């Protein structure tokens, strides 16, 4: 620009020394200059520049306020860009970054540096704000006038929209999620979150409980509604209460459902408002037990849940000798049935559920359990502290659930009959043509499947398993027909089998242009999020283009391999044979990313013990999965479409919960463990060898020094 190669320069701030060579427009934007810090290493109170003495400050090279910082005698580290500046702070190379408030905040969130935070305005006096102008060289006032007129013609509303779009969202169009009244900053926060692991008690029916590999209940439905409203991605985790609360304390889950507020829990959780309050009661089989106050249980053996919020208070009143704490609701009620305890303190609905499930006859409620300040059990969502803004957003979501929706959810789980016990199927009937076609084939349909796509589907010991297997079981019963697996060793082999007509259909497949040449498709009955998995050190990404030319894996023959090649031709896609192979290559550094479904990523990362991988982004299109049938048998497509259309809302919901559910099972990666141990052994051996060698050299050096000392004395004596 100063050489004359450019006519104008954008994004430049006015400075006296620059005004000698440059003509400036009026500012079209002004942004505040702030200090950013590491939340774990906060700065001391900053009022003046002298308060920053002794600290390492980072600034962008040649920024307009760097001279004032330097003249104040501050130690400056210069970086070529704002992203480099933010990274330097995150890596501990500087103590504070000086830069534009919104941009620093945006870059820290975009890169996943959630531990960085704004400290406050930088004490720069006249340079506390950065003015954005367009500059032209002195001697060209006509050009300056034209540019100024063009700037003046831009409506202020247009500028405001541009500022919101780019400062808050990095260019993404501003949208609202669901019908939740959400602020722009909250939306930005949500867009930077990865999938959230939500803990549910596995035996706390009807609020949350495991049923056939799924987690169901009132709390689950409330969380699912919040996910609809906010757009968050939920991965359910089921375990016992004592396990879940320990997971929350250690950051292994992000949210814990079924949690009651207690002041001491504020150290490891941020609470939402209650979404349901349960009366606690005393169950007993003893007809003589009269209950009006907790002291009435003084002479009885009393069971309660281990770690429940009122446990300590009950022990203080009754003493420890007669109190029995149980890890599960089921074992506690079994103890009552077997006569091991005289009374059980628990939530009304949970106790009633287990009385029905265990067939406990003669059980009765002796009275409502109340303590001072504890009228009932308040069910809330507990959020780990590092996600504090999420608790406020969930509160807004809870407030947005209408009374009608609340009543529907409560009636579903707290009514006289529980919906998950209703196994009846809707009326179903084939046409004469469909009956004839099925009878000609002995009512048997062959199918191929992906052998390693769990939990959606897989082949284990020659049997079809997973969500797709559950769907076929429903179809088989409803249509009075059978499905026979044609086993293959990989998904590409299954595709070839379908092309050669060795099988009639796929229970789960996504429509693509190429597949229409040999397959017909029903309407989709399952939507699965599509994600990018990366190594634990990788930053979160907003779009696939951020991966550049780095290799990105996907299973050969998968629908999105074809679709991504069409939509993202610059993406360096590398095909692999299976999910396991792709994740291993990612872990070993052969791939920079791996594209798969959220369900399968969660499943295999846990089952393979891949703790060093994480979901780093969403692919802007989800898997819409249908039944795919051979296109030379149009009658078959009609049959499968009728079966898919017959699925009730409850059945679809249960199928969806199957892939949403993730069960925590510890697995050690012994290959990695042995590599670490071997490396440690080699290092220890080398250190031992070096110490031995160093000791030998020291002894030789000491001997030589003694000899020199002796010579120095004798030399003086002799001459």
What was the pLDDT predicted at 522?
87
pLDDT per residue as tens digits for the range 318-357? 998 899 999 888 899 999 999 999 999 998 778 888 887 8
Is a pLDDT exceeding 90 seen at residue 364? no
Least confident of 78-87, 305-314, 365-374, 675-684: 675-684
Largest CA distance in the chain: 128
Pairwise pLDDT comparison (332 vs 93), residue with the higher score: 332
Q: Is 519 left (phi over 0), alpha (psi -120 to 50) or beta?
A: beta
What was the pLDDT predicted at 173?
41
What was the pLDDT predicted at 660?
58
Taking the C-alpha atoms of residue 259 and residue 126, their distance in angstroms, rounded to an integer, is: 51
Average pLDDT over residues 364-388: 85
Binned at pLDDT 50, 70 and 90, residue 404 comes out as low
pLDDT per residue as tens digits for the range 513-525? 788 889 998 888 8
The bridge status of strand 196-201 relative to strand 255-259 is parallel
What was the pLDDT predicted at 178?
45
Least confident of 195-209, 292-306, 320-334, 684-698: 684-698
Is a pLDDT exceeding 60 seen at residue 109? yes
Is a pLDDT exceeding 60 seen at residue 177? no
Pairwise pLDDT comparison (568 vs 667), residue with the higher score: 568
Least confident of 173-177, 248-252, 260-264, 648-652: 173-177
What was the pLDDT predicted at 551?
94
Q: Calculate what percentage of the chain has a pLDDT beyond 70.
A: 83
The CB-side HSE value for 407 (13 A sphere, CA atoms) comes to 3
pTM beyond 0.85, yes or no: no
pLDDT per residue as tens digits for the range 454-463? 888 999 999 9
Structure tokens at 464: 């079809």
Is a pLDDT exceeding 90 seen at residue 543? no
What was the pLDDT predicted at 416?
35
Pairwise pLDDT comparison (41 vs 380), residue with the higher score: 380
- Nearest residue to 585 via CA among 609, 564, 554: 554
Output the CA–CA distances (angstroms, integers) from residue 117 to 36, 55, 87, 107, in the order listed.
6, 17, 13, 11
What was the pLDDT predicted at 297?
94
Taking the C-alpha atoms of residue 53 and residue 32, their distance in angstroms, rounded to an integer, is: 22
pLDDT per residue as tens digits for the range 127-150? 777 788 999 999 999 999 999 999
**β-bridge partners, 519:** 630
What was the pLDDT predicted at 659?
59
């Amino acid at each position: 620009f100063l050489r004359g190669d450019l006519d104008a320069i954008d994004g430049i701030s006015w400075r006296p020394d620059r005004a000698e060579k440059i003509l400036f427009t009026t500012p079209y934007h002004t942004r505040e200059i702030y200090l950013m810090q590491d939340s774990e290493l906060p700065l001391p109170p900053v009022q003046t520049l002298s308060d920053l003495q002794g600290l390492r400050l980072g600034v962008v090279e040649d920024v307009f306020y760097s001279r004032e910082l330097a003249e104040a005698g501050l130690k400056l580290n210069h970086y070529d860009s704002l992203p480099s500046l933010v990274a330097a702070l995150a890596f501990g190379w500087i103590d504070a970054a000086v830069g534009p408030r919104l941009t620093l905040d945006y870059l820290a969130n975009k890169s996943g540096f959630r531990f960085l935070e704004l400290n406050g305005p930088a004490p720069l006096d006249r340079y506390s704000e950065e003015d954005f102008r367009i500059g032209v060289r002195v001697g060209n006032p006509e050009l300056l006038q034209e540019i100024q007129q063009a700037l003046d013609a831009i409506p202020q509303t247009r500028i405001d929209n541009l500022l919101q779009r780019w400062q808050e969202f990095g260019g993404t169009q501003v949208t609202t999620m669901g019908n939740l009244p959400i602020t722009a900053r909250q939306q930005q926060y949500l867009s930077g979150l990865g999938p959230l692991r939500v803990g549910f008690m596995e035996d706390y029916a009807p609020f949350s409980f495991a049923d056939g590999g799924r987690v169901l209940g009132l709390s689950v439905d409330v969380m699912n509604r919040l996910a609809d409203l906010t757009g968050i991605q939920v991965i359910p985790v089921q375990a016992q209460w004592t396990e879940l609360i320990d997971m929350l304390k250690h950051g292994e889950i992000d949210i814990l459902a079924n949690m009651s507020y207690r002041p001491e829990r504020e150290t490891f959780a941020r609470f939402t408002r209650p979404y349901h309050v349960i009366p606690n009661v005393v169950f007993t089989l003893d007809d003589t037990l009269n209950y009006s106050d907790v002291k009435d249980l003084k002479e009885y053996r009393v069971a309660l849940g281990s770690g429940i919020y009122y446990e300590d208070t009950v022990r203080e009143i009754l003493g420890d000798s007669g109190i029995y704490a149980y890890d599960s609701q089921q074992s506690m009620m079994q103890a009552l049935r077997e006569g091991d305890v005289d009374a059980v303190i628990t939530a009304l609905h949970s106790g009633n559920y287990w009385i029905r499930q265990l067939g406990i006859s003669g059980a009765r409620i002796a009275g409502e359990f109340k303590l001072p300040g504890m009228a009932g059990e308040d069910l809330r969502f507990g959020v780990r502290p590092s996600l504090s803004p999420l608790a406020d957003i969930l509160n807004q979501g809870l407030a947005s659930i209408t009374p009608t929706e609340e009543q529907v959810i409560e009636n579903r789980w707290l009514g006289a009959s529980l919906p998950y016990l209703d196994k009846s199927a809707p009326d179903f009937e084939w046409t004469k043509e469909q009956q004839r076609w099925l009878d000609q084939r002995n009512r048997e349909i062959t199918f191929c499947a992906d052998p390693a796509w769990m939990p959606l589907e897989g082949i284990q010991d020659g049997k079809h398993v997973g969500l797709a297997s559950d769907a076929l079981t429903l179809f088989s019963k409803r249509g009075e027909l059978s499905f026979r697996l044609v086993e293959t060793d990989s998904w590409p082999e299954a595709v070839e089998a379908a092309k050669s007509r060795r099988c009639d259909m796929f229970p789960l497949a996504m429509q693509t242009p190429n597949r229409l040449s040999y397959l017909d498709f029903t309407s989709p009955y399952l939507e699965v999020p599509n994600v990018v998995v990366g190594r634990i050190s990788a930053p979160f990404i907003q779009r696939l283009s951020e991966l550049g030319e780095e290799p990105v894996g996907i299973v050969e023959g998968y629908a999105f391999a074809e679709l991504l090649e069409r939509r993202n031709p610059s993406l360096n896609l590398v095909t692999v044979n299976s999910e396991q192979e792709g994740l291993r290559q990612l872990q070993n550094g052969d791939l920079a990313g791996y594209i798969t479904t959220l369900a399968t990523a969660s499943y295999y990362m846990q089952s393979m013990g891949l703790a060093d991988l994480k979901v780093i982004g969403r692919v802007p299109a989800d898997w819409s999965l249908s039944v795919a049938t051979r296109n030379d048998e149009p009658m078959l497509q009609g049959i499968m479409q009728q079966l898919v259309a017959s699925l009730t809302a409850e059945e679809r919901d249960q199928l969806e919960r199957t892939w949403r559910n993730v069960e925590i099972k510890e697995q050690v990666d012994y290959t990695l463990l042995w590599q670490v141990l071997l490396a440690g052994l080699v290092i220890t051996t080398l250190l031992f060898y070096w110490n031995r060698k160093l000791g030998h050299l020291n002894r030789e050096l000491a001997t030589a020094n003694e000899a020199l000392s002796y010579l120095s004395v004798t030399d003086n004596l002799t001459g």
